[in-house]
């Protein structure tokens, strides 16, 4: 289970990615396709064409960390995204559910409570 601060974003690629790509290849995608800073500490997730493998790239204290998970059965259940979107932002809970095989698109959340006079996020 991941415990991430709310300030850490999880960015998921909407298009399948060649799982032969190494850290450098994934870094290039993050920089060129998304215009993101790979050294930000955010997590960047990539799913294979068959949908049974996922890589998560992040920068941590002087080096890159690459998490790789391969499902023995089934596929990762990705959230619904706009057709023209190159990436979608998830939170830590959604990433944990995705990695655990839960269909993120089918999960219903209660609206977040906000103090009176303030807008929720």
| Distance from C-alpha of 67 to C-alpha of 84, rounded to nearest angstrom | 27
- Tell me: the pLDDT tens digits for 63-104? 999 999 999 999 998 888 787 888 888 888 889 888 988 887
Kindly list the domain boundaries of the chain, sorted by start residue: 10-105
Q: What is the pTM of this model?
A: 0.82
Pairing of strands 10-13, 43-47: parallel
Alpha helices in 1-121, H assignment, sequence order: 23-34, 92-99
Pairing of strands 63-70, 87-90: unpaired
Q: What is the pLDDT of residue 52?
A: 94
Quote the tokens at residue 68: 């790789």
Question: Helix or strand or coil: residue 70?
Answer: strand
- Tell me: the pLDDT tens digits for 34-74? 899 999 999 999 999 999 999 999 999 899 999 999 999 99
- Tell me: the pLDDT tens digits for 4-16? 777 889 999 989 9
């Amino acid at each position: 289970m991941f415990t991430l601060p709310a300030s850490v974003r999880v960015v998921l690629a909407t298009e399948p990615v060649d799982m032969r790509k190494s850290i450098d290849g994934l870094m290039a995608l993050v920089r060129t396709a998304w215009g993101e800073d790979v050294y930000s500490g955010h997590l960047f997730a990539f799913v294979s064409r068959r949908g049974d493998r996922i890589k998560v790239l992040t920068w941590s204290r002087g080096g890159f960390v690459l998490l790789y998970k391969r499902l023995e059965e089934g596929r990762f259940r990705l959230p619904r995204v706009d057709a023209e979107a190159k990436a979608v932002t998830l939170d830590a809970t959604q990433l944990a559910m995705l990695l655990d095989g839960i269909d993120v698109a089918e999960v219903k959340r209660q609206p977040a409570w906000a103090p009176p006079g303030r807008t929720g996020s």
